[in-house]
Amino acid sequence: MTIDLAGRLARLRAAMLAIPAFTGDIWYIDGTDGDDANSGRTPSQAYVTIGQGLISAVAGDAIAVKAGNYDEIGLDLALDGLELWCEIGVHIEDSTPGTALVVSGDHCRVQGAHFEGPGAIAIQVTGDHCSLATLFAENVTVGYDIDGTDTLIDHTISAAHTVTGYDISGPQTIIQHAVANGVGGATRGFYLSNAAADYCLLEDCSSLENATAGYECVVGTAGNMLRECVSGVGDGDRIDLDPNNFWANYVQEMETEHNEHVYPVPDGEGTAGAAVEVNADAEDETHGAATTQNYWGEPTVVLQPAILTLAWTWIGMNIFATTTGKEFRSLAYKIDYSRRSARNAGNAWDEGETDLTVADGSIFQTDDLVWVYSTYKTDGEIVKVSSVAGPIVTVVRETSQFGAPNTGLRWNHTINAAGTEIMYLVRRAGEQMSEGYFFDFGAAGARDMIIMRWHEAKRMDGSDGVLVRTINGSDSVNNGRFDCALIYGE
C-alpha cells in the first residue's frame, strides 16, 4: 500500500493556512505587512502591492488582497483567466488620477473591491466574458465602463459619479442588482452608449440623482431588456432612441393612485383655462386659410413641451363641437421631447426650404414626421423627412390642398424668430412609442361634447407634449373646427 505523504502534507498545510482550493497559483497581497521582495505565495509571504502580484501571475492565476488601501498606477488584469479576490475593506484607487483598474484579459473575475478617486474611472473592462461582483465605486467620473462582450455584473454600486454610473458599449452585458446614485447634476445612471450595445439585460437596477437620465439607450441599440428597474428621486426621464428595446415593469418615481386631470384647466379664480381650438383650415406664408375635404389642417398644440416635467400618462381627450354638421377625422401626436434638435446654422428655416441643418441629425430617419417649431409659429408645422445626411435633414411637404409646386416648409421661422427653431419627432412608422391616436368626431350641434378615452393610457416622459390636427371629412367649407383638452394622469 502506497501512502501519498507529500499530497497529505500539502493538503494539511493548505488547510492550516486557509488557502482555498484553486488549480492556478494564488498570489497574496497585504498592503500593511507585505513586501514586494517576498515570494507572494502564502499569506505570511505576501507582496505589499497588487501591481507586484500582477507581474508574478500568469494566465489562470488568482490574486488575493487583504483589507487595506491600495493607491497604485496602471493596474491591469491583462492575462486571460486572471481573478482578483478582495477581502471586504479593500480600497483601490489611482490618485494621479487614472483608471483604478483595467480588465483587458478575457474570462477575468473581480470581486469585493471598493474603488474611489475623483476625476477617474473606477473599473474599465475591455476583455470579453468577464465577471464583476460585489463591487463599490465612489467619487469617480464613471463607475463601470464596459466595452467588452458578455460581461456579467452582479451586486454592484456606483455612488457620487460625476458622469455615468454604468457606461455600456459592449453587447450581451448582464447587470443585476445594481445601484447608480449620481451627484444630482448632469449625470446618467445606466447608459447604453453605443449602437453595439445589443441584447443586454438590466435586471433589478435602481437609479437616482442622475438628472440627464436614469436610463438611456442610444440610437441603434436593439434587443435589450430592462426588467424590474426603478428610476427614483432626482432622475431625468428615461431616454430610449430605438423602438427595439423592452422595458418590463419599469417604474419611474413612486407609483401613485389613479388620478385624472385636464389641460388646459380653469383655476376657479378668474383664469378661464379655455380648451384649445383645432381647425381644418391650412395655410402658409403665401396662401390664406383654406379647407379642402380630406386634407390635413394646420397642427394645433394642446400641450406645449416642457409643461408637465415629470412622467405622466395620456388618458384621452375632451372634444367640444364649435361647428355643426361636420365629420372630423383627427390625429393626436406625442411631441417627443427627448428626440428634438435645434437649428444649427445652414439654410434658413423659411418657406419653401427643404434642407434643414440640425445639431444632431442622428435623431431622425427617412419617412419620419417631424414638427418644426419656432416662437414665430408656436403651433409649428408638420413635414416629412425624405432623407438624412449627417446634420442635414431633407424634408418635403405632405400632399396638400395647395398643390404643386409648393414644397418644403410653410412658414418663415428664421426670418421672424431666428434662434428659436427646433425640430421634434412626432411619428416614426412602426414604432409603437411614437404612434398617435386616430379619433373620429361628428358634430351635429354646436354644443356637442364627447370624451375620448384611449383603450390604454399612454406613458409619456416628462416634458413630452401633445398636438392635434384634423381633416374636414364632410365638405370644403372653411373654418370647420372643434375645441379640445387633454386628459392626463400623474
Q: 405: cis peptide before it, omega within 30°?
A: yes
Angstrom distance (rounded) from CA 88 to CA 83: 16
CA 466 – CA 146 distance, rounded (Å)? 37
| First and final C-alpha spacing in the chain | 80
Long-range CB pairs of 23-26 (<8 Å, 24+ gap) are 23/60, 24/58, 24/60, 24/61, 24/62, 24/81, 25/57, 25/58, 25/61, 25/62, 26/61, 26/62, 26/63, 26/64
Q: Which pLDDT band holds residue 410 (cuts at 50, 70, 90)?
A: very high
Phi/psi for 52 (5° steps) reads -65, -35
pLDDT tens digits for range 5-16 = 655 665 566 555
Q: How confident is the model at residue 321 (pLDDT cuts 50, 70, 90)?
A: confident
- Cβ neighbors of 269 (< 8 A, separation 6 or more) are none
Instruction: Report pLDDT digits (tens) over 22-47.
Output: 889 999 999 999 999 999 999 999 99
Q: Is pTM beyond 0.85 here? A: no
The DSSP letter of residue 290 is: B
Q: Average of pLDDT values for 426-451?
A: 73
Q: How confident is the model at residue 263 (pLDDT cuts 50, 70, 90)?
A: very high
Residues 164 and 143: their CA atoms lie apart, in Å, by: 7
Return the residue matching grid coordinates 395620456: 314
Alpha helices in 298-380 (DSSP H): none
- The confidence score (pLDDT) of residue 14 equals 58
Using pLDDT thresholds of 50, 70 and 90, give the confidence band for residue 150.
very high
Lowest mean pLDDT of 171-175, 439-443, 473-477, name the range: 439-443
- pLDDT tens profile 160-177: 999 999 999 999 999 999
List the grid coordinates of 308.
408637465
- The beta-carbon contacts of 43-49 under 8 Å, at least 24 apart in sequence, are 43/17, 43/18, 43/19, 44/17
Checking if the pLDDT of 198 tops 70, the result is yes
Domain boundaries defined on the chain: 141-255, 261-489
Higher-confidence residue of 21 and 277: namely 277
Whether residue 390 is predicted with pLDDT greater than 80 in this model: the reply is: yes
pLDDT at residue 102 tops 70: yes
Q: Which of 260-264, 266-270, 470-474 has the lowest mean pLDDT?
A: 266-270
Question: Which residues face 225 on adjacent strands?
Answer: 201, 246
Tens of pLDDT, residues 348-376: 999 999 999 999 999 999 999 999 999 99
> Which string of b and e fits 61-75 if b means at least 16 CB within 10 Å?
bbbbbbebebebeeb
Cell triple for 452: 375620448
* Residue 201 CB neighbour total at 10 angstroms: 16
Q: What is the pLDDT of residue 444?
A: 67
Backbone φ and ψ of 9, nearest 5°: -65, -40
Q: What is the rounded average pLDDT of the residues 384-388?
A: 96
Instruction: Look at strands 230-231 and 142-146 and give their pairing.
Output: unpaired
CB neighbour list of residue 440: distance below 8 Å, 6 or more residues apart = 327, 328, 329, 330
Inform me whether the pLDDT recorded for 1 exceeds 60: no
416-432 b/e with 16+ CB inside 10 Å = b? Answer: ebeebbbbbbbbbeeee
Q: 250 or 468, which is more confident?
A: 468
* Confidence at 440, pLDDT banded by 50, 70, 90: confident
